[in-house]
Chains A and B, each alone.
Chain A
Amino acid sequence: MPDPKSESIEVLAPRKEPGILPATNRIKNLPWWALIILMLGIALVYAIANLPNYADAFYFIVPGLKVTLTVSITAFVIALVIGLIVGLGRISTNPIIYNLATFYVEVVRGIPMIVIIIYVAYVLVPIFISGANGLGAWILDTSWLGFLQDIGNSLSSLDITQINPIARAIAGLAFGFGAYEAEVFRAGIISIERGQMEAARSLGMTYLQAMRYIILPQAIRVILPPLGNDFIAMLKDSSLISVLAVRDLTQLGKLNRSRTFRTFETWNTVTYLYLSMTLLGSMGVKWLERKMKSGER
């Protein structure tokens, strides 16, 4: 029978210092996985420089990088704004605000991201546009709102056919990720001890002042690494917008394959481009984590 005590002692045993490891162990502990990725990258660069099919695929696909990055960054910034507002709603003591915020979070988190993107692009955006049209027409018809005529004109002239797929894609991703960022913000805010809010309020600050000057600056340090991870997730999930025919990395990959029938070249290139972005991203997050832990301010 194994003695539970000896097991726990083994767990507690101090880790060997890397400096005093024998040479074979040091080799064993090298980040081989990173070296393999690096070598695959070198192989890809070599292929692009020397093989016409690879060069062709690469130059066709690489503009998609810009689209993927633009859509991801824009959608993430909007998702952060949604997340902050909804996250505050999730900790609100007002039952109406709390329930609205929770409704959004629970609904969105219960639906696959690709369905959210399609739903927002083809259902919510059109509803929003026709709502804006209606509001604009109402403003123009209502005499005492004459001073809003410019707004009425621009709202009623919004045209659903002019809302391009990129805008719909950004709306869909932001709407979908907003729910997850809301939970990150909520967790960060409630991780700050209660006394901070009480001290701020006891000095006469309003709830929003206390949030802005006292709670959020502290919470942001806690949530920066998870937000970074969510941005990396956004970079990956932005590939789903190819269902809207947005010419991002994935969509250009699909187009290139059907144009050239060069499956290997196409998807090797697409895969490696995503991988380089996400790996760079997670290196950034690790750096952030270390900075938040050591620097503190």
Chain B
Amino acid sequence: MENDNIITIRNVYKRFKHVEALNDVSLDVKRGEVLFIFGPSGGGKSTLLRCINQLEKVNEGEIIVDGIRVTEPNADLDKLRSEVGMVFQLFNLFPHLTALQNITIAQEKVRQWPKEQAVETAHRLLKRVGLPEKADAYPDQLSGGQKQRVAIARALAMNPLIMLFDEPTSALDAEMIREVLDVMVDLAREGMTMLVVSHEMGFAKAAADRMVFLADARVIEEGSVEEIYTRPQHARTKAFIEQILY
């Protein structure tokens, strides 16, 4: 049996009080794949990501991450989350900790790695996201783009199997989007499995293996970047792409 899927999402339903966020969503993600998820706001993109690391519980359906059925009631969610990095729209850096401490704290407290190793990793990652000189800066001394790059380094420090990006550039000023996308493109080229919720078509073209158009709580269309971008089958997809390209 050939099963290279690192994430399997089967018939997932998620309802918030009166809103349907996910309606019978099924999706497979291969190891090393970069999946670009786009669609109108309120369409369920963020909810989908948040269900994968179980920040939200699904109402129905199942999600399997790296062979573990995470929608089971007795699944070890702390273990799951430590293997799945997440980057948030509003960064969510810890404001009382320096950039370095933001990156070391989970390594020390969750992974129980020795402090020297955690600090070394943090310095290496800060260098990798282009911020070697910001180790001792607090989040409020960083620009939006810098914060987001520290947040990416923080997630990478756990050595995750998968990285989830929830609109990582939506809260950034235009001139800072590039520096964050560059880091993400590098990461994609190194073979990281990534699920990226975004409107940055440039990133999709540069790095995505597959695109998923999510609207009205459903997967409307999915396929290669080439297929979706240039020959969308669905009128809804076509209209949306035209809209955001203006």
Contacts and interface: CB of A to CB of B under 8 A. Distances in A.
B86 interface: yes
A157 interface: no
Nearest to B111: A204
Given A201-B55, A213-B109, A206 B78 contact: yes
Counting contact residues on chain A (CB < 8 A from B), the size range is 10 to 19
Contacts of A209: 109-110
A177 B246 CA distance: 61
Contacts of A297: 96, 138
Interface residues of B, number: 28
Contact of B158 (A195, A200, A203): A203
Nearest to A192: B95
A198 B81 contact: no
B46 to A, nearest CB: 11
A199 B81 contact: no
B90 interface: yes
A155 B86 CA distance: 51
A204 B81 contact: yes
A296 interface: yes
B92 A198 contact: yes
A203 B55 contact: no
A41 B218 CA distance: 76
A213 B86 CA distance: 19
A206 B140 CA distance: 26
Contacts, number: 62
Contact of A205 (B85, B106, B155): B106
Contacts of B140: 296
Nearest to A212: B109
Given A198-B88, A218-B96, A204 B55 contact: no
Interface string A282-297: 0000000000000011
Contact of B92 (A199, A205, A221, A296): A199
Interface of B: 53, 55, 78-79, 81-86, 88, 90, 92-96, 105-106, 109-111, 138, 140, 151, 154-155, 158
Q: Which of A200, A203, A205, A214 has the most CB of B within 10 A?
A: A203
A221 B111 CA distance: 28
A204 B81 CA distance: 5
A-B residue pairs, 10 tightest by C-beta:
A204-B82, A199-B92, A203-B106, A195-B92, A202-B86, A204-B110, A204-B81, A217-B96, A204-B78, A218-B96
A258 interface: no
Nearest to B82: A204
B155 A203 contact: yes
Nearest to A199: B92
Contacts of B111: 204
Contacts of A195: 88, 90, 92
Contacts of A201: 55, 78, 81
A196 interface: yes
B106 A204 contact: yes
A201 B78 CA distance: 7
Contacts of A221: 96
